[in-house]
């Protein structure tokens, strides 16, 4: 009977391990004990580390200062952050962009077709129409046979 290999794979460290080390651990031994693969992972995680740390309003100036130096060595980067950021466990809410459409998609398509422009330019046109001349926008919609109920739903 053959013996089973009981090799344990070394766990790779990820972004949140680095964030916890910067915010809670703050020891130089953490970075010095990283494997070459983990140091490489840290190098590629610097952008996301900056992004997550900047979610705390108080850390934004610190993050802004450190990200200006793109060629800073990883160890110096880690030490800089650990010396400036207070040592405590914290939760920073990640800010996401809003995915809500400001204008109806059919209205954007209609203006893009009417003026023979891209959808992005049609959105710019809508900005102007909504601020200055809604009645002209209503006229264009009626010209293409859009029902009054649907026009009202679009806020016109």
- What average pLDDT does the chain have? 86
For the segment 97-147, what is each residue's pLDDT rounded down to a tens digit?
776 778 888 899 999 999 999 999 999 988 888 888 888 888 998 988 988
Same domain assignment for residues 77 and 129: no
Same domain assignment for residues 50 and 111: no
Same domain assignment for residues 77 and 21: yes
Cβ–Cβ under 8 Å, residues 74 and 103: no
Same domain assignment for residues 69 and 36: yes
Mean pLDDT of all residues in 33-46? 91
Question: What is the pLDDT, as a whole number, of residue 5?
Answer: 56
From the list 57, 63, 71, the residue with the least C-alpha distance to 19 is: 63
Same domain assignment for residues 112 and 67: no
Question: Total structural domains in the chain?
Answer: 2
The token pair at 95 is 């800010």
From the list 82, 72, 76, the residue with the least C-alpha distance to 27 is: 82
DSSP SS3 for 55: coil
The token pair at 16 is 């949140």
9 within domain boundaries:
no
Same domain assignment for residues 26 and 80: yes
Same domain assignment for residues 120 and 68: no
Same domain assignment for residues 117 and 64: no
6 within domain boundaries:
no
Same domain assignment for residues 23 and 64: yes
For residue 77, what pLDDT band results from cuts at 50, 70 and 90?
A: very high
Phi first, then psi: what are they for 90, rounded to 5°? -150, 160
What is the C-alpha separation between 109 and 116, in angstroms, rounded? 10
Give residue 61's domain range. 15-84
141 within domain boundaries:
yes
């Amino acid at each position: 009977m053959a013996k089973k290999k009981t090799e344990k794979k070394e766990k790779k460290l990820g972004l949140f391990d680095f964030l916890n080390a910067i915010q809670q651990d703050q020891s130089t031994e953490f970075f010095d004990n990283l494997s070459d693969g983990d140091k490489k992972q840290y190098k590629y995680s610097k952008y996301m580390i900056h992004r997550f740390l900047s979610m705390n309003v108080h850390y934004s100036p610190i993050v802004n200062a450190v990200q200006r130096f793109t060629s800073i060595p990883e160890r110096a980067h880690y030490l800089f952050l650990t010396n400036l950021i207070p040592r405590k466990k914290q939760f920073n809410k990640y800010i996401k962009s809003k995915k809500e459409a400001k204008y109806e998609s059919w209205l954007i398509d209609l203006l893009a077709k009417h003026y023979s422009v891209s959808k992005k330019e049609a959105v710019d046109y809508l900005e102007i129409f909504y601020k200055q001349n809604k009645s002209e926008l209503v006229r264009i919609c009626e010209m293409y046979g859009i029902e009054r109920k649907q026009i009202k739903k679009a806020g016109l």
